[in-house]
Structure 1
Amino acid sequence: MTDGAGGTGGLAWERQERILAAVRRSGTVRLSELTRRLGVSAVTVRRDVTALADRGLVRRVHGGITLPYRGLGEPAGGAPPAVFVGMVVPSVDYYWPEVIKGAQAAVAAEGGRLVMRASSYDPADDRRQVGALLDRGVQTLLAAPATAGAAGLELLRWLGGLPLPVVLVERLPPPA
């Protein structure tokens, strides 16, 4: 069976199981990587990802997918984590998967959990994603926000006024 683009990805449910296995293994997966691994077209991968997202099994982020919030780093047995850290990154492409994995490892080493949100290089979206993490009760925030222009500066001021530690990731604070 082919997907019309010469791929042999199999039946939709088989591809979707493989997609779920990949995202469970690494936490985030790029759509281009799924296209390559499954040997199907980008359109087929997008359809499969949409079906999984509609069922709440994955979350679409810029350039890829991640586990839904409730599943990312949840401790076994519902025990409260020692440390609850939120992270907002602008992409799951390029070097960001390695940054995310490093943060997950560091937080896990302290007995905590990391909840990750992906943004889209937009200050308003960054603020929405941070707000969602604050609603979840994170104790610390790692953020790689958009910093360009007046909106970026305003976002940095807002982050600096939050009542919890905020660590800028791969960003510099504005000059004093």
Structure 2
Amino acid sequence: MREPVGPRRQRILAAVESRGSARVSDLAAELQVSVVTVRRDVEELAREGRLRRGHGVVRSALAAQGLPAAPAPDGGAVAVVVPERHAYLYESLHGARSVLEAAGRRVALHIAPRASGAERPLVERALADGAAGLLLAPRWRTRADEEGDYGHLAALDVPAVLMERRPPPGSALHAMDSVRSDHAHGVHLAVQHLTGLGHRRIVFATRDDSPTARTLRAACARIADAHPLIEKWAWTLCAPEAGHDGPYPAEETAELSALLHGTGATAAVLHGDVDALMLVQRLADNGVRVPEDCSVVAYDDVVAALGTTPLTAVAPPKAEVGRVAAELLLRRLDESPGAWGPVRRIELLPSLSVRGSTRARTAAPI
């Protein structure tokens, strides 16, 4: 038989007052109820002024009167949730780790598999383990995946910062702290570099299975349409199998080499590095030389410099995104839960590394 609400809340109150503080997950285990149930009880007790809510920790109201409270369990660990096999975001993870460990915060890493909605149970587990705060980089392969996470992330009762993610205005997460690269500026750098070398016809290729790819596609269209020196441009998927948000017309899933030939393009911008390196190989197989016949710019700059022809690449500030996100989270953790300052949406500018895959246009179009 389920215990009535009143006696259960009295037991929570007694447990916290006897210890000074308690972890929400520990209370749930002791009471044999869900973490969600305990959180609801704690919210009501805090509203009545009988408890103080912390970041995954409940404290006695006596602490508010100047009496010492017990330290947060697990040293106030910060949970970091990133997708598996994602070299780009692993660099952000390393940047965040350097800041958090310097501040004495343990990092609890959770790696999300490729399955849709895989991050949610990891977040719930982190909270049950008493995480003081969260750094999140959900995969969000489709818009439906993204929107499916809005509800539970908006309901978090610990500080959380999104890395390389920016939900759209009006969404439930629009008012969530976030740190990301200004990818539109990255596209601008690539286009300015290529047009400065005399290229007037450019092919863009991105994936559509991440928020970054979708942002890049929109930026490519906006910047190319408005640029006075671009005569013709086209966009396609880097790989047709990436078309989760399709269906797409045939020209938007065209093979890159064929699209370059059909548009007379002398340059290409590809997201990301691996796709750009593979394009260079395919062009070589077809007798097209890089950069003599076609200039190539990669977007990400994780392994772009390692190609037989080192690739010119746009480099988002991957590690710095992690560092700034961690600094923002630490700031939130130092603030009282009821006195958090304004939401911060921080953008950092990418840079361009010029290497051997781009040169001034000297050849006829492909």
TM-score, scaled to structure 2: 0.25
Structure with bigger gyration radius: 2
TM-score, scaled to structure 1: 0.49
